[in-house]
Structure 1
């Protein structure tokens, strides 16, 4: 049985190399382009052409595509931990990665409404709940239902991205992918802790009620393009690296 090809072309650097990422060869081609050595913090997000983090259903599900999900898998595969805000887990549901840990950041400690599922082979104790130390007891009681590990961090309800990263590094988790949502992404960008922005741009015009990344003129990140892929559906997949 033949499969429909999922062709992706590299335009930056201008190799114009292309691969069918539905094949194992194509997936290896994709992994080579997203490979990164050492410790890092990546932000991985999807946006419409108008900058919205959500499609018509109010989630990113109506923006994403098979290729975008494939790139998500490649980025997660190389990471030690995926960091996501509790609001995103409530709004969209979340799948615990097979290899990387999933760290959910909650300032309030309220976990009601979370929708977590496991990839085949993933274990529930791979979920970390990062919270202010002041609500750690409350989170621990809620965490029992998830089999999750509570990671208390000094600070108030607005946890510092650097404090979050320090808590992860103390557990040996130094290859970090932040997947938002928009509030957490903006906090990480404002703190200047992101080494690489991996941004999928969907060919969709959608009212930007929830910008995928809010920045100020004074705090906007200084970046340069490290890579760009395009597919035949009109998606583009950018990698922007922070400049010193």
Structure 2
């Protein structure tokens, strides 16, 4: 593992001086631990995957460009978070389900005063969601729906009838990303994780709300016109992030970057 002060990349893949190994959950939990301050102050991290040529998905989904180690980190990040923030389109495209309980994280979550699992918070202005899905009807902790004050009352009622908790995070029809972060913090969720999609991540970046990016570089090439990991509004000046750690396994690179 490469830390911010230097060192060497460790992991799989022979022929380049790498040590062939698999990163365990305990090691990943340590490598991706939230800052100590995150228990008191809100910290928003994103977890995304990109191919070598910059594609954030293939055929509309991220799973085809992922791998076993990437999914292990995916599970670890969920095991550390209070809430997983995700856009409505990603929920539809990726077939989102409730976060499942993992025995490996139970003791640490209890010690940190966290719920058994992270809640899922779906960002949706229109509330055009299928509230009969398990994400809403059978989570271990209630799913949150972040929407605007102008959301249709019948859709709000449908969400609440399904067991979701509706949180207003915008004065109009849309959701304000900075206000969404504050709203989640107000509910006691300070360790935030967003899994996109690209439009939602772009909004967090443009609002200056993103503290950390966990980026998997997949050793694949797709060409085509797939989205990047972030889209939507741009920023006037590119924001600088610093490399905190870098892991490697089976040709995949796992970087962790924090806001400078």
Residues 127, 156 of structure 2: 8 Å contact kept? no
TM-score relative to the length of structure 1: 0.84
1:38 aligns with 2:31: no
Give the Cα–Cα distance (whole angstroms) in 2 for the partners of residues 185 and 115 of structure 1. Answer: 24
Q: Which residue of 1 aligns with 2:144?
A: 128
Give the Cα–Cα distance (whole angstroms) in 2 for the partners of residues 30 and 68 of structure 1. Answer: 11
Taking the TM superposition and a 5 Å limit, the aligned residue runs for 1:138-217 are: 138-144=154-160, 146-206=162-222, 207-214=224-231, 216=234
1:66 aligns with 2:68: yes
1:219 to partner: Cα distance? 4.1
* Structure 2: gaps spanning 5 or more residues: 12-20, 101-116
Give the Cα–Cα distance (whole angstroms) in 2 for the partners of residues 180 and 219 of structure 1. Answer: 22
1:143 to partner: Cα distance? 1.3
1:53 aligns with 2:56: yes
Give the Cα–Cα distance (whole angstroms) in 2 for the partners of residues 15 and 236 of structure 1. Answer: 13
Find runs of 4+ consecutive structure 1 residues off by over 6 angstroms.
none
Q: Which residue of 2 aligns with 1:93?
A: 95
Partner residue of 2:125 out of 85, 93, 107:
107
More strand by share: 1
Residues 80, 175 of structure 1: 8 Å contact kept? yes
Q: How many residues of Structure 1 are paired with residues of Structure 2 in the alignment? A: 225
Residues 89, 114 of structure 1: 8 Å contact kept? no
1:208 to partner: Cα distance? 3.7
Residues 48, 214 of structure 2: 8 Å contact kept? yes
Residues 53, 208 of structure 1: 8 Å contact kept? no
1:113 to partner: Cα distance? 8.4
Q: 3-state SS of the aligned residue for 2:171?
A: coil
Residues 41, 196 of structure 1: 8 Å contact kept? yes
Q: 3-state SS of the aligned residue for 1:20?
A: coil
Q: 1:211 to 1:143 in 2, by over 3 A?
A: same
1:222 to partner: Cα distance? 1.1
Give the Cα–Cα distance (whole angstroms) in 1 for the partners of residues 153 and 170 of structure 2. Answer: 14
Q: 1:157 to 1:53 in 2, by over 3 A?
A: farther
Q: Which residue of 2 aligns with 1:27?
A: 25
Q: 1:145 to 1:236 in 2, by over 3 A?
A: farther
Residues 90, 114 of structure 1: 8 Å contact kept? no
TM-score relative to the length of structure 2: 0.79
